[in-house]
Amino acid sequence: MAVYTVSFDFAYDDTYDKRYSSFNEQVKASGVWWAETTSFIVVESPETIEAFCDRIYFQSDFNSSKDRVLVLDANVKSGRYRGVNSDGDLFKLLPFVQKV
């Protein structure tokens, strides 16, 4: 089982609630999860990081033209980033993160 950390930010507009809710439902559907801080969830999943990221993106209303998500595997140096990004330092600090 993998343990993923999921950090996310959703642009506020008239579809915010729908996008936010559907995204959280997909992340938490994986199994055991912890979400006591803002916009950050730790979740256990049997899925590979690719399958997990694809599911939370394609099966939710996430909008990569205005939202952003960073998923890191807590057990190995692996990560994925999707969405808007105005600061390239993320990839300098975490060179193993792939933009998808």
pLDDT by residue for the chain (100 residues), tens digit each? 999 999 999 999 999 999 999 999 999 998 899 998 899 999 999 999 999 999 999 999 999 999 999 999 989 999 999 999 888 888 898 999 999 8
Q: What per-residue confidence (pLDDT) applies to 88?
A: 83
DSSP character string of 3-66: EEEEEEE---STTHHHHHHHHHHHHHTTSSEEEEETTEEEEEESS-HHHHHHHHHHTS---TTT
pTM of the model: 0.88
Q: What is the architecture of the domain spanning 2-99?
A: 2-Layer Sandwich (3.30)
